Structure 1
Amino acid sequence: MSESDDILQLQMVWPTSQLAQPPQVVLPAGYRLRTYQPGDEPRFFEVMALAGWSGWDEAKLKPWLYRIVPQGWFMAVTQADDLIVATAMATHDHTWIRPFSGEVGWVAGDPAHKGRGLGTAVVAAVTARFIEIGYSSIHLFTEHYRLAALNIYLRLGYLPLLYRPDMFDLWQDVCVALKRPFTPKLWPTAPA
């Protein structure tokens, strides 16, 4: 990623003070949570496209499969027909600041099922899975315009990482748009 592209990439971290309190996974009636099963790929690609992540296919998925922690690819599915409607991956990030870091990745949902807490459920499941298997450094990346996703992350307890001075203005805009308090003095400037 170039320096100019990097400015739009926000980072968030799970506070180490919350490692003893993983988020609860709550699903509405009619849905359940499960992990990946062989054969999920075609519907996963559809959900990714519906969420604005076009171009997913076997070739694009393959490198991510090696990074997903065991039992770390979560799907919210309909109880009636096991249709995947939201997804998130718990991926090992050996390239980030710490060699043993977990990244919440590729959060996506079918817009036909939005507003039901399914994105929150899969992100909570990923976060809880990382904590369960011993990760103490958990982070995610997103863009400033993905307000629904940012609202999920903030509501669950993720903190903005103010890793560059220009992040202050972006986060202030996000907080105004989401009607959330802008509290940069409480946010980290470097990973724990």
Structure 2
Amino acid sequence: MNAVKTAFPTIPAIPASADPLRGTPEILYRDAALLVVDKPAGLLTVPGRGEDKQDCLSARLQAEFADALIVHRLDMHTSGVVVLARGKEMQRRLSSQFANRQVEKRYVAVVAGELLVAPVARPQGTGTRLLAALAEQGTPAVWAHGDLPRTRAFARANGWRRVRLLHKMSRPLLPDDDAEIALPQGFSLRSFTPGDADAWLAVNGRASADHPEQGRVTRADLDRLLAQPWFDPAGLLLLVDDATGDLAGSHWTKVDPQERAPGTDGRATAAGEVYVVAVDPAYHGRGLAVPLTAAGLAHLARRGLRAVVLYVDGDNDRALRTYRRLGFTDLEVHAQYRRVPAAAKMEP
């Protein structure tokens, strides 16, 4: 039988922080016969059962390459290189090569995740050995659930430095949260429409320029988010400058049926989410962030939710001040650590 042979350039390491909803799968190679793509972790290769599992690698690529057909798969939580055939004949030939083991495959583990040690094993040096093994494998980062002094000391002693804090904050939604919000004079609120996509992207990009994920959202990323089952255009509020018609900011709310947070009685209840709040830097200092955030809380309260959560980075002082002013408190605080090179000086 005829064999398809293709030489590929060296493939760079896949970032461990890749977010399947915010990153377009990169095409590493393409010709008339096949596509070779970089599948991020967290993305299905082919559709699953249920409306929430239709977003997948094959569907995204077929939107641009109608003849792209799957030859092999990677698990949802596995990142790596996937080969797709262009047309049924090439799919048959490539599938035969995979079945007959004529394709050389190499698996490399790039670990970035959680290090868990049972309490009974902690005095035995288990955590130290595991952390050393992760460093040898080139693990770029690990997360610790809880920013605890013991964890910081352990990480520091082993040459890892805390580089990021992620706050998950929450507050109950109160009866008066659904009241009309008084906006600064000259501004008004309305819901998102498809024609607002480019303006939203521009404002979001300027407002989130320093954010490691949100600042990189593209039009393709936004289109996929708008197609998610949880998306509700009424919950994406746009703040408009009445004098110019320009978009000054936005508050994107989200409702995940699985999300829970403490209600007014302290017990877990269904919660909405402050998904993305963005104010164009050109409008900073005009008192827009608090009423814009409150408007999103009012929307969630009117939907019958009794609590709300949000995620915010620990170095975002402006956002933290706004959220604490609105009554949010920490529900969880997660810390990310990275290995400090041996030649580098450890920060205090």
3-state SS of 1:39 partner: helix
Q: 1:13 aligns with which of 161, 164, 170?
A: 170
Kept after mapping to 1: 8 A contact 2:253/2:273:
yes
Structure (1 or 2) with the larger CA radius of gyration: 2
Deviations 1:68-91 (A, max 9, x none): 345111111100222111111111
* TM-superposed deviation, 1:101: 2.8
Equivalent AA in structure 2 for residue 19 of structure 1: L
Equivalent AA in structure 1 for residue 168 of structure 2: Q
Q: Paired residue for 1:29? A: 185
Equivalent AA in structure 2 for residue 58 of structure 1: R
The 5 Å alignment of 1:64-83 reads: 64-65=225-226, 66=228, 67-69=230-232, 71-83=234-246
3-state SS of 2:244 partner: coil
Segments of structure 2 that go 5 or more residues without pairing to the other structure are: 1-16, 18-112, 115-141, 145-163, 262-268, 336-348
Q: Paired residue for 2:322? A: 152
Kept after mapping to 2: 8 A contact 1:24/1:124:
no
3-state SS of 2:297 partner: helix
Q: Distance in 1 between matches of 2:185 and 2:175?
A: 28
Q: TM-score, normalised by structure 1?
A: 0.74
Kept after mapping to 2: 8 A contact 1:68/1:91:
yes
Kept after mapping to 2: 8 A contact 1:76/1:121:
no
3-state SS of 1:46 partner: helix
Q: Paired residue for 2:48? A: none
Q: Distance in 2 between matches of 1:113 and 1:165?
A: 31
The 5 Å alignment of 1:90-169 reads: 90-97=253-260, 100-161=270-331, 163=332
* TM-superposed deviation, 1:102: 1.0
Q: Distance in 1 between matches of 2:215 and 2:168?
A: 22
Q: Paired residue for 1:60? A: 221
Q: Paired residue for 1:85? A: 248
Percent identity between matched residues is 29
* TM-superposed deviation, 1:62: 3.0
3-state SS of 2:215 partner: coil
Hey, which of these two has a bigger chunk of helix by percent?
A: 1
The 5 Å alignment of 1:163-182 reads: 163=332
Q: Number of residue pairs matched?
A: 163
Distance 1:112 1:137, change over 3 A: same
* TM-superposed deviation, 1:164: 5.4
Q: Paired residue for 1:45? A: 201
Distance 1:38 1:164, change over 3 A: closer
Q: Distance in 2 between matches of 1:5 and 1:58?
A: 30
* Cα RMSD, aligned residues only: 2.5
Q: Distance in 2 between matches of 1:126 and 1:70?
A: 12
Q: Distance in 2 between matches of 1:96 and 1:90?
A: 13
Q: Distance in 2 between matches of 1:108 and 1:14?
A: 20
Segments of structure 1 that go 5 or more residues without pairing to the other structure are: 167-192
Q: Which moved more, 1:135-144 or 1:61-70?
A: 61-70
